[in-house]
Homo-oligomer: A and B are copies of this chain.
Amino acid sequence: MKSGAEYVDSLRAVQPRIFLGGRQVRLLDDPTTLTVVRANARVYDLGLDPRHAAVMTAVTEDGRTVSRCLYPPRATADLEKRAEMAVLTSQELGTCNYRCVGQDALTALAATTWEMDRDLGTDYHRRLMDHLTRLQDDDLAVSGALTDPKGDRSRRPAQQDDPDVYVHVSERRPDGIVVRGAKVSQSGAYAAHETIVLPTMAMRPGEEKFAVAFAVENGAPGVSYIAQYTPFTAERASVPEKYLGNPLYGQRETCIMVFDDVFIPHHRVFLDGEVRYTGRLVSRFAKTHRMNCGGACKVGFADLVIGAAALMAEYVGVHKVPHVIEKITDMIRISETCRAATVAAALKGREEPPGSGYFLPDDVFGNVAKLAVADGFWDIMKWAGDIGGGLAVTMPSELELENPATAGYVRKFMKAAVPAEERLRMAKFLQNWCAGLHGAGTWHGAGSPQAQKMVLYALTDREAKKDMARRWAGIDR
């Protein structure tokens, strides 16, 4: 398994075509893309840290120790470790583990290709296993891509004016396929070695060309990345790193990943036209990703926010005021409710499909984890903003402390139980959480809540409940 430094080295051979803020940038040079590289490097290093080995690594059936980022769960204990990994990396990074979507995409593919081979006699699963072994042995960083641009959402893929708003097969060649389209809101794709691409939703008969799943190498001809640009991007380009809200790892960085007639050789194709299997492929991805990204990941974030709010309260001497304690307790309640739903999702996970050897979390519990955090994180932001005070949105730059004309004033007026430096640093950290991208980001990550509600309604055996009610009301059918 690679160290962080080895991962960074390995990137020198990759030449992703990345655009940011209107110009092309180099992955290892641009301060924003560099945060993604650093986050990945940190995850690699955690994998080598003996304290975290149980969580960050797994042992394959043939005895190889591999990164858990490349290991489809084979037991409920794996699911639990998977969720713990999400908590840990969130605590350590304060942003995405950018290998998270890729891992969950591999898990969904493992289960579904196994099923397709069994049902259809295809050899997708063998292909995938061969590919996975290579990924494991080279310990590659793999991202995952689902969300198409979608165009007009009231129309199906084949009805769009421009078919490119859904990724699709544009040409078939003897040795592989050519794909066109794009995936949006792709977390950290440009710093991965490869990306696993899945359809964005269940496809129907007649939509075969949109039913395609494959692995694509970073730097493959025709692939471009157009990075997100937010106020935080500008700030990182303008201000010394140490004065930023999340100095090393920054914001969740995403991009539009463009496929402009990209050739994919057959051995990297894992579904091609089998529309009937797209629904379960996507729903298996959602099942595992809602537990990990939807639930567990935000528990790790919440730990950081709660810690920061508790410190800010101490700094100004209000940490024993009852309403402050009540608010911190409420943040804990929200976070631990999500953690509980995540734990339940993992421990009540099941082999799926039966006989496959792959395990997926309980779907109901994964969905309620996501729903709990979607609303809950906005509340956490609210309470953190309350305790952080106006300072979290009105603070001056820490650069003032380097300016003789203002340093004295800022030291004097921003001083609290700790020096001004520390208070400003913590306020900036809180600003990053409660006055930025995290509310909407958490809401939509792993699918927006309306999707979870639809699944929850569909998963519920409402007839059984109606029967119970009838029995209780003394009604014989």
| Chain A residues near B (Cβ < 8 Å) | 19-24, 91, 94, 147, 149-155, 162, 164-165, 182, 184-185, 224, 226-235, 237-239, 242, 246-247, 252, 254-256, 258, 260, 303-308, 310-311, 316-318, 322-323, 325-326, 328-330, 332-333, 336-337, 339-341, 343-345, 347-348, 364-365, 367-369, 371-372, 375, 378-379, 381-382, 385-386, 388-397, 399-400, 402-403, 405-406, 409-410, 412-417, 422, 425-426, 428-429, 431, 434-437, 439-441, 443-444, 448-450, 453-454, 456-457, 460, 462, 464-470, 472-475
Contact = CB atoms under 8 A, between A and B. Distances in A.
Nearest to A441: B393
Contact of A468 (B307, B375, B410, B441): B307
A345 B381 CA distance: 27
B230 A382 contact: no
A460 B333 CA distance: 10
Given A234-B234, A396-B227, A456-B336, A425 B246 contact: no
Given A234-B235, A343-B365, 7 more contacts: A231-B436, A252-B393, A254-B390, A256-B409, A305-B469, A308-B466, A326-B326
Given A340-B368, A417-B152, A422-B475, A393 B228 contact: yes
Given A394-B184, A466-B307, A386 B448 contact: yes
Contacts of A150: 316
Contact of A340 (B184, B340, B443): B340
B91 A474 contact: no
A152 B315 CA distance: 8
A260 B328 CA distance: 37
Can you list the 5 inter-chain pairs with the closest CB atoms, starting with the nearest? Answer: A22-B399, A307-B465, A307-B469, A385-B440, A231-B231
Classify the interface of chain A: helix, strand, loop or mixed: helix
A153 B164 CA distance: 44
Contacts of A246: 472
A152 to B, nearest CB: 4
Contacts of A235: 230-231, 233-235
Contacts of A456: 329, 332-333, 336
A238 B234 contact: yes
A304 B429 contact: no
Contacts of A448: 386, 389
A462 B307 CA distance: 7
A229 B238 CA distance: 11
Contact of A347 (B260, B344, B439, B457): B344
Contacts of A473: 308, 422, 425-426, 428-429
B382 A439 contact: yes
Nearest to A147: B390
Contacts of A21: 238-239, 397, 399
13 contacts: A23-B399, A153-B318, A182-B409, A233-B235, A234-B238, A258-B409, A310-B469, A328-B462, A329-B457, A336-B456, A337-B368, A426-B470, A428-B473
A344 B340 contact: yes
A53 B228 CA distance: 44
Nearest to A181: B413
A420 to B, nearest CB: 10
Nearest to A406: B19
Contact of A413 (B182, B391, B392, B425): B182
A305 B473 CA distance: 11
Contacts of A326: 322-323, 326, 453
A469 B426 contact: yes
Contact of A333 (B343, B405, B453, B465): B453
Contacts of A395: 228-230
Contacts of A412: 162, 164-165, 182
